[in-house]
A and B are shown apart, each in its own frame.
Chain A
Amino acid sequence: MTLVILSLLFWAGALWVNVRIAESRWRGTRAARLGVPAIFGITVLVVWEGLVRGLEVPGVILPPPSAIAVRIGGSLDILWVDFLQTFVKGALSGYVMGCGAAVLVAVLIDRSPFLQRGLLPVGNFIAALPIIGTAPILVMWFGFDWQSKAAVVVVMVFFPVLVNTVQGLADTSAMQRDLMKTYSASYWQTLLKLRLPAAMPFIFNGLKIATTLALIGAIVAEFFGSPIKGMGFRISTEVGRLGLDMVWAEIAVAALAGSAFYGAVAAIEKGVTFWHPSQRR
């Protein structure tokens, strides 16, 4: 009981600190903008630990963060193997193949407004479907190993990136295209020097959405069959064995991988689309 009261007191204290920072004259500084969510996150962890230990919640329902940290420390090799299997071999390869194919197809159908008018509604429809449902079919076709997971990721990321790229290629204004015409630029020169760079903000928007979809696709596809390694495999088997601290350890690794992946793509975007208004400080 004391732990419960202590953690609630900690929460109240941290909330007071955050309110004070948010209303102080330092609220616009970088330290404040990073510190307030950090304090919030630490509070969540402390309250979680205090409530779970204080109310004596069984470890098979909700393990406390300290137990999860111990498990992470003790299982680094397993977590690394799972990370390689799911993220590097499954998600990353599928992401590269799917996004590359989508940009290529978008460039190919760029010459034909007829095909664009036909493909975009179909593409929007397919992008809204629960593609996860194709996972068992793709496992049946490509086998249990990482190839089927990469196939699921390709199907999941293809249409969102395609729709965004087509939208981006259409984004140039008439004046810009006329300027290229006055330079006597060919179709391919206009494409490479004007329309593709102008499409980069849209393409990166699609690429950022695709990072989340790639990781989700790779993990959930492993629920349908996988060799005895991989994040999804580990999550589903540890759930069956009631080893919930390992499940949370895998979730922590997946969360880190997902955020790092998104952050890497956003950093590349900042470098490539430095000229865009959204990149202004």
Chain B
Amino acid sequence: MKSIFPVLTVVAAILALWYAAAVWMNATWTYDQAARAEVELSLGEVVKDTLNQERPKLPAPHQVAAELWKTTAEKKITSKRSLIYHGWITLSATLLGFAIGTGAGILLAVGIVHNRAMDMSVMPWAIASQTIPILAIAPMIIVVLNSIGVQGLLPKAIISAYLSFFPVVVGMVKGLRSPDAMQLDLLKTYNASGSQTFWKLRLPASMPYLFASLKVGVAASLVGAIVGELPTGAVRGLGARLLAGSYYGQTVQIWSALIGAAVLAALLVGTIGLVQRVTLKRMGMVR
């Protein structure tokens, strides 16, 4: 809590810089319009105009806030203009993909830790694939799946699943291998079978690593779902709002979709952080 005052100061500084940048960047348009109407503007009028344009180069914070309020609180949730509706479309693809990716990742990690052939053949590829820009093939996956009839939620979920899969595999393998030799020997003295060692030692020991990779994975899933909405001219979801805003020059719409995505990312990572704190506390592993 002692960092709340510095954080607020930094946020206030960012807002102040944002306002100044908005005035500076939108001023060109203001001066152009004034020159056309052959009107001289005072500085106060310039500032007022730059902060209230309809298609600004950089929307002012209050414009974005107003647009956010308009598309969330003042619209019905089922309306196609509601940010909550679009956010839910993106969120459902993210959650489904995240669940699939995490489940598959944990299974593969268990396989890698217990089977040496799988470890030697798959693990180098899992690590190497983190350096490959997987997101670049999102359009292709969407188009290919659409052409064989799989549309809507599932293609985006597959991209999200792929993006969260590898961080979970790498983190979970590290976690399942984290018990040291003394702990493994202790279980051997208890005559524990392989599965007992797994459930009673390896799995609980991997929890901190799992939660760290879950946070990375959920952020990656969200980005995957948003990028998955970009091709094929999607009409629903936060990515579609971003694209529509950029096509029709609605800069305030772009910014409100961006803030919506940011809030969603913060909520997801925050929820996992909360679950992490509660779970680790109950397991006695709080650091």
Contact = CB atoms under 8 A, between A and B. Distances in A.
Interface of A: 15, 18-19, 21-23, 27, 32-33, 36-37, 39-41, 60-62, 114-122, 125, 128-130, 132-134, 136-137, 139-141, 211-212, 215-216, 219-220, 223-224, 231-232, 235-236, 239, 242, 244, 247, 250-251, 254-255, 258-259, 261-262
Interface string B1-15: 011011111110010
Q: Is the interface of A mostly helix, strand, loop or mixed?
A: helix
A118 B121 contact: no
A140 to B, nearest CB: 7
Contacts of A15: 117
A140 B117 contact: no
A223 to B, nearest CB: 6
Q: Of residues A19, A60, A118, A122, which shows the largest number of chain B Cβ atoms within 10 Å of its Cβ?
A: A118
A60 B147 contact: yes
Interface string B218-258: 01001100110011000000100011011000010011011
Interface in B99-146: 116-117, 119-125, 128, 130-137, 139-140, 143-144
B232 to A, nearest CB: 9
B253 to A, nearest CB: 10
A136 B254 contact: yes
Contacts of B58: 141
Contacts of A33: 120, 124
A32 B269 CA distance: 40
B245 A128 contact: no
A226 to B, nearest CB: 13
Contact of B2 (A62, A117, A140, A242): A117
B128 A259 contact: yes
Contacts of B215: 128
Sorted from nearest, which 6 A-B pairs have the closest CB atoms?
Answer: A118-B6, A136-B246, A118-B10, A40-B121, A22-B117, A262-B131
Interface of B: prevailing SS: helix
B131 A258 contact: yes
B52 to A, nearest CB: 19
Nearest to A41: B125
Contact of A132 (B123, B223, B269): B223
Given A239-B139, A251-B140, 12 more contacts: A21-B117, A37-B120, A40-B122, A118-B7, A121-B7, A128-B266, A133-B242, A139-B246, A211-B131, A216-B135, A235-B137, A259-B131
B168 interface: no
Given A114-B6, A140-B57, A37 B121 contact: yes
A163 to B, nearest CB: 13
Contact of B3 (A27, A117, A231, A261): A117
B148 A61 contact: yes
27 contacts: A18-B120, A18-B121, A21-B117, A36-B121, A37-B125, A40-B122, A114-B6, A120-B3, A121-B7, A122-B14, A128-B266, A129-B261, A130-B226, A133-B226, A133-B238, A133-B242, A137-B246, A219-B136, A223-B227, A235-B136, A236-B139, A236-B231, A247-B137, A251-B137, A254-B136, A255-B133, A259-B131
B262 interface: yes
Contacts of B219: 128, 130
A200 to B, nearest CB: 20
Nearest to B128: A259
B159 interface: no
B265 interface: yes
B133 A215 contact: yes
B6 A239 contact: no
A58 to B, nearest CB: 9
Given A37-B121, A39-B121, A261-B131, A133 B258 contact: yes
Contacts of B8: 118
Nearest to B8: A118
Nearest to A224: B246
B9 A239 contact: no
Contacts of A140: 57, 246, 251
Interface in B136-165: 136-137, 139-140, 143-144, 147-148
Contacts of A232: 136
Contact of B255 (A137, A220, A235, A261): A137
Nearest to B148: A61
Contacts of B14: 122
Nearest to B11: A122
